[in-house]
Amino acid sequence: MTRLVITGSAAICGAGQTPAEIVDSLLTGKPAIAPIESWDTAGWPCTVASTVHHYNGGKLLGDRKLVKLVRRSDVFGIYAGDQAISQAGLSEYRQTLEERAALEFADSTGCYVGSGGGAFEVNYDYFPLMAETGADMQAFGQELSSMVNPMWLLRSLPNNVLCHISIRHQLKGVNGCITNHTTSGMLALIESAWALREGEAERVVAIAHDAPVEPQTLLYLHRVGLLASEHATPFDRRHAGCLLGEGAGSMVLETETSALERGLRSWVSIWAVVTALRVRVSLMCAKTVTVCVEA
C-alpha cells in the first residue's frame, strides 16, 4: 500500500488565519461567532455567524488587483492553498531542478478543490438592469453589456481557486473542481488521496473553501429548519441547527517516496486510506473512505 503523508497545511476562518491561531482560539475559549456586519440583520431569525475578522482581501492574496476578479470565497481558497504550498516547499524545490526535471515535477503535481459552488450574491449585479427593464427581455439584452460588468462571468466561475493556484504554482497534474455543497472539501481530500494511491500523481494540493454568509442563504436555511438562532450545540440534545461560517483549509498530500526524494524528514502520515464503498449517482462517483491520521 502506498504510504501517504501531509507535508503542508493551512486554514483560515472566524477563529484565526492560521492553524496555530485557530488551535489557540480553541484552547483559550476565544469565540469565533459574532454578530453579522455585512447587512442589517434587525428582525432576522439569525443575527450571528462565524466570519473572518479584519478581512483584507488584497493582503490575503498579496495582489490588490486580483480582489476585483474573484469572490470572497475564492480569496480564502487561494490564500489557504498558497500557505499550504509554501509550507510544503513545492515551488522552492521545483526551482532547484533542471528544466526537464522541473517539468516532470509539475506534471506529477495535482490539485483538487472543493467549494459550496455558486452563491446567490453573484446574481445581484443584474438587479439594477432588471428593475429598469422590467419584463422587457429585448431591452434587457440590449442594455446587458452596458450595465453589467463584462468580468462578471470570470468572477463567478466556481473553479477560480483551482485555476489561480495551479497557474501560480505550475500544478499541471490531475485536477478537479468539486461543487457538492458541504461535502465538497472532504471529497476533494478523498480524490487527492485516491489519485496518489492510484499512481496518478506524486503529490496533490487539496483545498476547501466557502463564504456562504449572505442574506438569501441564511433565510432559506432558516425556512427549511436547518439554522439555529443563536448558538451551535452539536452532539447535544439541545441541538437546534447550524450557524453559517466562512473560511478555507488546505493540505498538501504526498507519497512518502516523493517526500523523501525532496529531502523531507518531518510530516504527518495518513497511514490508512481504505475504500469502503463506491456509490454512483447520475454522473457522480463518491468514494467513501476511512482516514486515520498518525502524528
pLDDT single digits (tens) 119-145: 888 888 888 889 989 889 999 888 888
Cα distances (angstroms) measured from residue 229 to each of 118, 131, 146, 209: 24, 33, 41, 24
Over the stretch 238-281, which tens digit does the pLDDT of each residue have? 888 899 999 999 999 999 999 999 998 777 776 544 443 333 33
In a domain, 40, yes or no: yes
With a pLDDT cut of 70, the percent of the chain lying above it is: 90
Range with top average pLDDT, 38-42, 107-111, 185-189 = 107-111
Give phi and psi for 113, each to the nearest 5: -125, 135
39, 215 Cβ separation under 8 angstroms: yes
In a domain, 120, yes or no: yes
Of the pLDDT bands very low, low, confident and very high (cuts 50, 70, 90), residue 116 is confident
In a domain, 251, yes or no: yes
With a pLDDT cut of 90, the percent of the chain lying above it is: 65
In a domain, 106, yes or no: yes
Q: Which three cell numbers stand for residue 116?
A: 459550496
Q: Is the pTM higher than 0.85?
A: yes
In a domain, 277, yes or no: no
Mean pLDDT of the residues in the chain: 87
Over the stretch 138-176, which tens digit does the pLDDT of each residue have? 998 888 888 877 778 788 888 999 999 999 999 999 999
pLDDT average, residue stretch 223-252: 89
The helix (H) or strand (E) run that includes residue 192 is helix 184-197
pLDDT at 101 over 50: yes
CATH code, domain with 59: 3.40.47.10
User: Could you write out the three-class secondary structure of 148-173?
Assistant: CCCCHHHHHCCCHHHHHHHHHHCCCC
In a domain, 288, yes or no: no
In a domain, 285, yes or no: no
- Identify the pLDDT of residue 240: 85
Between CA 267 and CA 240 the distance in angstroms is 39
Domain region containing 84: 4-267
- Total domains in the chain come to 1
**Residue with more model confidence, 234 or 130:** 130
- Identify the pLDDT of residue 191: 95
- Identify the pLDDT of residue 149: 78
Contacts of 170 (CB under 8 A, 6+ apart): 91, 94, 106, 109
pLDDT at 289 over 50: no
- For cell 461535502, name the residue: 183
In a domain, 60, yes or no: yes
